[in-house]
Structure 1
Amino acid sequence: MKVSRQEKGIVSHYKREPYLIVHTEQSQRKDVYGAIGSNVVLQAQHLRGETQADTAIIGMHPIGAPGYLPMFSQLGRSGFDVVACATRFSTGDASLQMESVLADLGACVRDTRERLGYEKVVLAGWSGGGAVMAGYVAESTQRVITTTASGERTPLVDAELLPVDGLLLMATHRSRHHLLTGQLDASITDEQRPDVGRRPEFDLYDPDNAAQPPYSDGFLSEYREAQLERNRRITFWVKEQLAALVAEERFAEERSFVVHGTMADPRWLDVTVDPNDRKPNMTYMGEPGVVNNSPAGLGRFTSLRSWLSQWSYDDAQVDIVDAGPRIHIPTLLITAGADDACPVEHTAQIEAAIASSDFSSYTVAHADHYFAGPDGRAHLAEALGEIGSWMSDRGFRTREASA
């Protein structure tokens, strides 16, 4: 599909070509519906012009189709070649294992270099994609992950992780397990019956709760401890279930379950907690009190191994801060000044962790997580200008510069 559009400062012609990347792995258990034999099929889009640049920007997120995120389309319009690749878990994360996501990204990097013929590759992670990209860079530099988070064999061990040349982190949090833990509803004590035995002092959405914004430091400390306790309580139950299956030699079997109450971070109601320019009582998914138990809530539907790999505070292995000391390539961090998804404290932790001597960061003031709203185009253009300069200064050329 050819896209033609003329805007100030934008190269207006590019093609959006859908294609598949197929790699193989052996597994007794299927984690996604429709997998045929040992094939793992990834849906990808190639955003390019009539001529090919020397550099490809690869975008990937644990779930969904990154090709239609605003930034990747805008990069395509602006003369950059983009490979937007979905993981095998494109339709949902109930069975997702982050180790397999890194293996999928390895297949995409190899295809981009060897089949598409790009000389240079820059990984670009938006939101949850940031940990994927940083984790890949770290593992391609020095392998640390040897099993899944549940201690089983992972295809990542056999995956070829070719090196890349640059890393873009855009409106990102440090990891899924840290993000979820900070949003767990600390008032829930019974995972099977979330409305029974609640701790009323931690129910943020109870108008009769004595604790109201602005929250005291003491309340916040106790609330964070209760959130961590809840995460570990779920993890303990998950490991019990897995151990029971193993004891009965049912090694490939899984169990699925629901996690209630996953959008109850005090910062949603009190913008003085982890402050930025976001609106109070609003998140990137809508009103937090509604999202807290909506079907689309973060981590709502999951499985035993997936919980450990994605959401367990103590067991998940893919995290930008953990990966940071192994990241030595040029890295740019773009922060949204009114991000209503990713915590500001995560940004500071990421900045402190990246070991690269060529690390820089930039904040787009007043931009929300998706760079949407009435000023969204201006925010995108500002971010794109910074990315373009960063790319050019490091020899990552656009189509026009490569021609």
Structure 2
Amino acid sequence: MTSSVTQPGSSRGAGTAPELLAIPMAASKRVDIYSGIARQAGKLWAARQRAPGGSGTAVVVIHPSSNFMGHYLLAALSQRGVDVIGANTRYIGNDSMLTMENCVLDIGAIIAHLRAEGYEQVVLVGNSGGGGLSALYQSQAENPTITHTPAGDPVDIVGADLSPADAVIELMAHPGRALVYTEWLDPAITDESDPFRERDSTVDMFEPANGPPYSQGFLERYRAAQVARNRRITAWVHSELDRLDEVSGGQVRDLPFTVHGTVADPRFLDMGIEPSDREPGTLWGPPYQANLSPATLGHLTSLRSWLSQWSFDETRCNGPEQLAKVSVPVLVMYGTADQVCFPSYAQVLFDAVPHDRKELLAVEGATHYFSDQPEQVLRAVDMIVEWLQRNDLIPLPAT
């Protein structure tokens, strides 16, 4: 991977390995990433794969914390006439102190950098957990309102002069981290310090007497209990922040904590709920194991991060709410065999867009990561290219 930088339209490096981009980022006043080297460098890292012959359009693929420098779209989509950037926020690989508002500033830095390089069009692709984030970014870029995080920390999005993307693509996306997290929370957990102690069997999807299949009554109790658990944690977070301020005299402003049981959506076991082409299970193994694995979603967080990233009521990263405020073309794509981003997620994102420059497309048989699915990747790329052309975001092929 080369670190050389050339201008859009150049054929240098076309069809070869991606090049490394080091993009200056807006610094945070608090220590929210561990690495002093990373903080000192003040850079956001991205990989760019150029189209043969170059392109005046850049497609930026983003997620709050996943490393997208090796994203499958880089090689596949760049060969179709558009430069592709697999971008990262400052929280690459570690979302324990992530705040969505800082992610918005990071995307702003990335798009500003690309505009300064000369790109005429920038298309923002929110993949998976990037769906809600891309919607939040575009909403704030078009009409900025945020001056503080939900925890009250200053973050000047209003004064950041964000450059709106020219279009948004929601790719295998869910509506937002807090929303999907709540739908995955294990409501049977009553003791936040021990996921096995005094579990509530009436809302336990792993209790054989409850299913699968799960009754409608069980599912209604289950969903209500998930929201209630999220709200209990949020209330505890606020009380802890108040206590922390008091006992430390305002010197300590955040603490880490653990959340057990974060991969417990009944749809992982009951294929009769929202039938699709998916296989039973999760992306991280059997649901019972994945539910408690430290490698799965949102087990490790902090008080202030919780409010921005995981709180059902206080996060601003609500994809449908934010897409309702955007004016640019929007493409929503989903895989019919996706185990975690269900067709209903795509539908609610699509329905939220207030104008008619929107499309909802299904990639038949595609899984969440397109693992070992080169044909589905190419089909998805075909769909993206045709949509970009229909919306005058890249030129039609020469005849």
Please indicate, yes or no, whether the TM-score normalized by the shorter chain is above 0.5: yes
Q: 1:154 is aligned with what amino acid?
A: V
SS in 2 for 1:174: coil
**Cα deviations by residue, 1:140-177 (Å, 9 ceiling, x for unpaired):** 11123231021221243442311221111110000000
After superposition, where does 1:29-178 map in structure 2 within 5 Å? 29-34=31-36, 40-49=42-51, 51-114=53-116, 116-178=117-179
Shift of 1:200: 1.8
Contact 2:127 2:172 in 1 (8 A): yes
SS in 1 for 2:69: helix
**Cα deviations by residue, 1:194-217 (Å, 9 ceiling, x for unpaired):** 2212112322223xx311111111
Shift of 1:324: 1.6
Q: Distance in 1 between matches of 2:312 and 2:383?
A: 34
Match of 2:282 in 1: 283
Q: Determine if the alignment matches structure 1 residue 387 to structure 2 residue 390.
A: no
Match of 1:270 in 2: 270
Moved more, 189-198 or 34-43: 34-43
For residues 174 and 312 of structure 1, do their structure 2 counterparts lie closer, same or farther at Cα, with a shift above 3 Å needed? same
Match of 2:211 in 1: 212
Contact 1:322 1:353 in 2 (8 A): yes
Match of 2:314 in 1: 315
Shift of 1:79: 2.8
Q: 1:260 is aligned with what amino acid?
A: H
Q: Distance in 2 between matches of 1:400 and 1:48?
A: 17
Q: Distance in 2 between matches of 1:26 and 1:266?
A: 39
Q: Distance in 2 between matches of 1:340 and 1:87?
A: 25
Contact 2:245 2:251 in 1 (8 A): yes
**Identity across matched positions, percent:** 34
Q: 1:308 is aligned with what amino acid?
A: L
Q: Distance in 2 between matches of 1:238 and 1:201?
A: 26
Q: Distance in 2 between matches of 1:241 and 1:286?
A: 34
Contact 1:79 1:399 in 2 (8 A): no
Shift of 1:35: 5.4
Aligned residues, how many?
A: 386
Shift of 1:54: 0.9
Match of 2:6 in 1: none
Report the RMSD for the aligned CA atoms in angstroms: 2.0
**Cα deviations by residue, 1:35-73 (Å, 9 ceiling, x for unpaired):** 566763211111114632010001111112212122333
Q: Distance in 2 between matches of 1:384 and 1:356?
A: 24
Q: Distance in 2 between matches of 1:398 and 1:34?
A: 44
For residues 262 and 61 of structure 1, do their structure 2 counterparts lie closer, same or farther at Cα, with a shift above 3 Å needed? same
Q: Structure 1: which 4+ aligned runs deviate by more than 4 Å?
A: 35-39, 398-401
For residues 37 and 342 of structure 1, do their structure 2 counterparts lie closer, same or farther at Cα, with a shift above 3 Å needed? closer
Larger RCO (CA within 8 A; separation ≥ 6): 1
Match of 1:250 in 2: 250
Q: 2:242 is aligned with what amino acid?
A: A
SS in 1 for 2:22: strand
- TM norm structure 2: 0.91
Q: Distance in 2 between matches of 1:35 and 1:398?
A: 42
- TM norm structure 1: 0.91
Q: Distance in 1 between matches of 2:108 and 2:131?
A: 15
Q: 1:256 is aligned with what amino acid?
A: P
Q: Distance in 2 between matches of 1:51 and 1:27?
A: 42
SS in 2 for 1:219: helix
Q: Distance in 2 between matches of 1:187 and 1:27?
A: 39
Match of 1:294 in 2: 293
Q: Distance in 1 between matches of 2:38 and 2:75?
A: 31
Moved more, 322-331 or 19-28: 19-28
* Runs of 5+ consecutive residues of structure 2 not aligned to the other structure: 3-13
Shift of 1:132: 1.5
Q: Distance in 1 between matches of 2:338 and 2:51?
A: 32
Q: 1:385 is aligned with what amino acid?
A: D
Contact 1:32 1:89 in 2 (8 A): no
Shift of 1:283: 1.4
Contact 1:100 1:155 in 2 (8 A): no
SS in 2 for 1:294: coil
Contact 2:145 2:157 in 1 (8 A): no
Match of 2:202 in 1: 201
Contact 1:35 1:41 in 2 (8 A): no
Match of 1:372 in 2: 371
Match of 1:261 in 2: 261
* Runs of 5+ consecutive residues of structure 1 not aligned to the other structure: 3-11
